[in-house]
Amino acid sequence: MTDQNIRLGIWMMVLTTFIFAVQDGISRHLASEYNVFMVVMIRFWFFAAFVMAVAARKPGGLRAAAATSQPLVQGFRAALLVAQICVMITAFTVLGLIESHAVFACYPLLVAALSGPVLGERVGWRRRVAIAVGFVGVLIILEPGFGVFQPAAIIPFVAALMFALYGLLTRYVARRDTAATSFFWTGTVGALAMTTVGAWFWEPMSGGDWIWMGALCITGAAGHFTLIKSYEVAEASAVQPFAYLQLAFASAIGILVFSETIRPNVALGVALIVGAGLFTLWRQRQAV
Q: What share of the chain is helix, strand, coil (3-state, %, to 5)?
A: 85, 0, 15
pLDDT reported for residue 148:
46
CA distances from 195 to 38, 65, 79 (A): 8, 22, 11
Query: Comparing 90-94, 121-125, 201-205, which segment has the lowest mean pLDDT?
Result: 121-125
Residue 199 contacts by C-beta under 8 Å, 6 or more apart in sequence?
41
The burial class, CB within 10 Å (0-12 / 13-18 / 19+), for 196 is exposed
State what percent of residues in the chain have pLDDT above 70: 90
Q: Which of 66, 150, 171 is nearest to 100 (CA)?
A: 150
Residue 156: Cβ-neighbour burial (10 angstroms; 0-12, 13-18, 19+): buried
Q: What does the pLDDT read at residue 137?
A: 76
For 66-86, the pLDDT digits (tens) are 999 999 999 999 999 999 999
Q: Where are the domains of the chain?
A: 3-287
Is residue 285 predicted with pLDDT exceeding 90?
A: no
**pLDDT tens per residue across span 23-67:** 999 999 999 999 999 999 999 999 999 999 988 988 888 999 999
- Give the pLDDT of residue 121: 66
Contact assessment for residue 181 and residue 74, using Cβ atoms and an 8 Å cutoff = yes
Among the residue ranges 84-93, 118-127, 209-218, 273-282, the one predicted with the least confidence is 118-127
Q: Tell me which H or E stretch contains 236.
A: helix 236-239
pTM for the full predicted model: 0.87
Asked if residue 196 has pLDDT above 90, the reply is yes
Give the residue from 212, 232, 251, 227 showing the smallest Cα distance to 23.
212
- For residues 5 and 208, the model is more confident at 208
Ramachandran assignment for 262, one of left (phi > 0), alpha (psi -120 to 50 degrees), beta (any other): beta
